[in-house]
């Protein structure tokens, strides 16, 4: 059984919805949970949802939790929140960035830049702020787990939901770059795109039948794996809801390489089917791996470039020891 005894988890947007369920679930498995929310007025069953209410549920069940009201779009306040967590518990083991805000669905012609800025502030700037504040303490202890919350809207784009789609897509690349940097430092970073019925689901156009078949708990089970010391993956993305779990990845086809003499718009157009062909695709873990794929393709068609690339690789190899 995966337990979190002795571990401390900070969860953003945990006063309601999926974040609330994450908090309850991790606390039930022994984690000390920091329940973060800005308590901006959301109501559930006629009651004001709040971080304090979630903490009361956890402590009533014998768990350990504290509530922290904080606008995660404010970097200084986030830093103060993490410092308070460290002062209280002495460590921070897991960060789950769950907080999200939305805009009304509509055509792109109707979209407002104010909505984009508001959504980026919480979803993207907030994700950056909490990860940045947690990063150094995690590196100092040689251990950490970060779970970003994406969306199918970010993976594939959601019709009539432009700003939210853009914001969630940004978290995909933040996940990848942090995972690459943390890989040898004990910090793993992954992303979950949840599908679950919450009080905000109706506004997003999620059918009400999902209330029965996609409770938030079915997302929290995966999040617990990614937040645990035994997490087997890093830099990965998942779609999860209703008991369904799938890996999401960005692939790169084998492509087609031209040289200066043969590459023309017409040649590209003629070879578009080959460029698009997915057979034999690769899944680069990061941009360095993608760049290596590109370099290898160029080298295969250009002996002069291949020689330069080989020299560069030799130069990067460590020399013999004393």
Catalytic residues: 164
Q: Is the dihedral of CA 227, 229, 232, 235 positive or negative?
A: positive
Q: Cβ contacts of residue 76 below 8 Å, gap of 6+?
A: none
Tokens of 247: 């890996």
Residue 71's SS3 state is coil
CB 14 within 8 A of CB 22: yes
DSSP annotation of 29 reads: T
CB 32 within 8 A of CB 64: yes
DSSP annotation of 204 reads: G
Residue 73's SS3 state is coil
Task: Please name which of 124, 125, 130, 168 lies closest in space to residue 150, comparing C-alpha atoms.
Answer: 168
Beta pairing class for 32-37 and 144-149 = unpaired
Residue 251's SS3 state is coil
CB 247 within 8 A of CB 265: no
Distance CA 170, CA 211 (A): 28
Distance CA 70, CA 15 (A): 11
């Amino acid at each position: 059984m995966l337990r979190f005894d002795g571990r401390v988890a900070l969860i953003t947007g945990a006063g309601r919805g999926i974040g609330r369920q994450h908090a309850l679930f991790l606390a039930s498995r022994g984690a000390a949970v920091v329940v973060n929310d800005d308590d901006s007025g959301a109501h559930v069953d006629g009651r004001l949802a709040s971080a304090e209410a979630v903490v009361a549920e956890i402590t009533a069940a014998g768990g350990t939790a504290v509530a922290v009201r904080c606008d995660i779009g404010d970097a200084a306040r986030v830093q103060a929140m993490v410092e308070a967590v460290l002062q209280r518990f002495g460590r921070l083991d897991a960060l789950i960035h769950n907080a999200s805000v939305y805009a009304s669905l509509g055509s792109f012609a109707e979209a407002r830049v104010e909505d984009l800025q508001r959504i980026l502030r919480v979803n993207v700037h907030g994700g950056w702020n909490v990860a940045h504040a947690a990063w150094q303490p995690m590196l100092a202890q040689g251990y950490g787990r970060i779970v970003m919350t994406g969306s199918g809207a970010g993976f594939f784009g959601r019709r009539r939901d432009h700003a939210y789609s853009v914001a969630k897509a940004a978290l995909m690349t933040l996940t990848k770059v942090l995972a690459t940097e943390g890989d040898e430092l004990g910090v793993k970073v992954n992303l979950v795109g949840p599908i679950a019925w919450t009080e905000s689901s109706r506004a997003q156009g999620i059918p009400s039948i999902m209330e029965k078949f996609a409770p938030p708990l079915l997302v929290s089970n995966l999040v617990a794996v990614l937040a645990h010391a035994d997490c087997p993956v890093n830099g990965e993305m998942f779609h999860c809801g209703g008991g369904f779990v799938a890996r999401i990845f960005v692939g790169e086809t084998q492509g087609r390489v031209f040289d200066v003499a043969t590459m023309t718009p017409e040649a590209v157009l003629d070879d578009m089917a080959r460029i698009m062909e997915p057979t034999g695709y690769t899944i680069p873990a990061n941009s360095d791996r993608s760049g290596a794929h590109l370099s290898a393709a160029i080298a295969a068609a250009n002996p002069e470039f291949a020689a330069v690339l080989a020299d560069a690789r030799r130069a990067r190899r460590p020399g013999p020891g004393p």
